[in-house]
Amino acid sequence: IIGELVPKQIALRDPERVAARVAPAMTILATVSAPLVFLLDISGRAMLWLLGQRGESEEKVTDEEIKMLVAEAEHHGTIESDERRMIAGVMRLGDRAVRAVMTPRTEVDWINLQSDDVATRKLLMETQHSRLPAGDGSVDAMIGVVQTRDVLAAMLGGRALDPRRHVRTAPIVHDQADALDVLSTLKESNVPMALVHDEYGHFEGIVTPADILEAITGVFRADLDAGDEENAVKREDGSWLLAGYMQADEMADVLGIDLPENRDYETVAGYVLSHMHHLPATGECVDAQGWRFEVVDLDGRRIDKLIATRLPGGHREVR
């Protein structure tokens, strides 16, 4: 108690002051004992060499250790809960492919360069976006990005409506590229939008700096469509209403479950499908990792909303 626990607690309570006071004595002790430490180190290395342990030891800090430190810092008030969530978002981003943060093609507004003037004017008047991917007759024939202000400025200047003249070259990225690498690509591009394609060259979606920011901070309410809710909403009975498009790793943080590293899905809908092994109907349930997932809303064949209810003895949510 006196030799270890009490000194440790004193140091933890005021680490900077204790470190400053013991530093001179520790410097002298380190200098005096340096020959003995060197001898013991050599002896230990020699013994390990004789036992066949000849590689260099790897001292790594794992993601779990960092998360524990961040959680401890939040518990003691060193950082705010919002800061903890952002740190967790940054760590998740490092493990994500761009496919996990992009806007999928089914939700992308795009301008068809072969459309007539009436359809093009209607699109420009109704769109809420300042940039639109431009396709030459098909969504799989994307050739660049059109900034709506360029088209509108030309029209206000008395020129004819011709969006093809205003197509800007946009970077094309693979859907399995690291999200952080794509962020670097966007920083160097003249157009803050990248076109995402799969290995077969099919257009899969778009990614912007805003998509990557949302992966770190969460969805901005202003970006939600009318009637949309947040990705995860806790209900009065303790269950969670989850969006099918919510990222699976975000869901894992909310529910306190572990996901396999080599998984072939990115969203909550994909997670549920991996356990059901078929396209579900509304009301179907599946139990997984201490939770019951019930499909409560479908958008065509896509799982739109689910309810996650903790089973007796199941995992506890962490948020």
d(CA 221, CA 241): 17
Q: Are strands 232-234 and 203-207 parallel, antiparallel or unpaired?
A: unpaired
Closest Cα to residue 278, out of 258, 296, 303?
303
d(CA 152, CA 41): 73
Which pair of tokens denotes residue 298? 């479908």
d(CA 96, CA 117): 40
pLDDT at 165 (0 to 100): 93
pLDDT at 57 (0 to 100): 60
Contact 207, 171 (CB under 8 A): no
pLDDT at 91 (0 to 100): 83
Closest Cα to residue 70, out of 262, 290, 316, 253?
253
The one-letter amino acid code at 92 reads: R
pLDDT at 318 (0 to 100): 46
Beta strands in 170-260 (DSSP E): 172-174, 194-197, 203-207, 232-234, 240-243
Tell whether the torsion through CA atoms of 163, 165, 169 and 174 is positive or negative.
positive
Percent of the chain with pLDDT over 70: 93
pLDDT at 88 (0 to 100): 83
Residue appearing with tokens 């579900």: 280
Q: Which DSSP letter does residue 315 get?
A: P
d(CA 11, CA 8): 5
d(CA 186, CA 180): 10
Q: What does the pLDDT look like over 63-86, one tens digit per residue? A: 778 888 888 888 888 888 888 888
pLDDT, the chain, mean:
86
Q: Is 216 exposed, middle or buried (0-12, 13-18, 19+ CB in 10 A)?
A: middle
pLDDT at 228 (0 to 100): 57
Q: Which residues contact 264 (CB under 8 A, 6 or more apart)?
A: 270, 274
For each of the domains in the chain, give its residue range(s) and CATH number, in order of start. Answer: 1-41 (no CATH), 98-217 (3.10.580.10), 223-310 (3.30.465.10)
The contacts found for 281-286 with CB under 8 angstroms, 24 or more apart, are none
Contact 244, 270 (CB under 8 A): no
Q: Which DSSP letter does residue 297 get?
A: E
Q: What does the pLDDT look like over 140-161, one tens digit per residue? A: 999 999 999 999 999 888 898 9
pLDDT at 256 (0 to 100): 86
Task: Return per-residue pLDDT of the chain as tens, 319 residues.
Answer: 777 788 888 888 888 888 888 899 999 999 999 999 999 989 988 888 888 776 666 657 777 788 888 888 888 888 888 888 888 888 888 788 898 889 999 889 999 999 999 999 999 988 889 999 999 999 999 999 999 999 999 988 889 899 999 999 999 999 989 988 999 999 999 999 999 999 888 999 999 999 998 888 877 666 655 455 678 888 888 899 999 888 888 888 889 888 887 788 888 999 999 999 888 999 999 999 999 999 999 988 889 999 999 998 755 444 4
Q: Is 63 left (phi over 0), alpha (psi -120 to 50) or beta?
A: alpha
**What is the pTM (predicted TM-score) of this model?**
0.68
